[in-house]
Amino acid sequence: MVYDKKRLNVADYSNLPSRLADLIDRPTCRNVYDWHEMGACDNGFECSECGNRVEDYEGYRIKGTFNCCPKCGREVVRE
């Protein structure tokens, strides 16, 4: 795509470094849920950073995997 000089201005690039840094240095966490704990479900989630815990107390299996923490938004990395 070719851009006309008149359409580009410096303000369009003023926040580019911080936007790139957000993509490169994304905050991460790990799932530290202990399913051996008494009464724990099979596949819960506990964020290593904010401590948010997601589990099903009725014994049903939570479907899917956690790619990010629902509370703090950090990306979940696998160990």
For residue range 11-66, list pLDDT tens digits in order: 667 777 877 777 777 899 999 998 888 777 777 899 999 999 988 777 666 677 88
**Beta partners for residue 62, in sequence order:** none
Q: Tell if the pTM clears 0.85, that is, is over it.
A: no
3-state SS of the chain is CCCCHHHCCHHHHCCHHHHHHHHHCCCEECECCCCCCCCCCCCCEEECCCCCEECCCCCCCCCCCCCECCCCCCEECCC
The one-letter amino acid code at 17 reads P
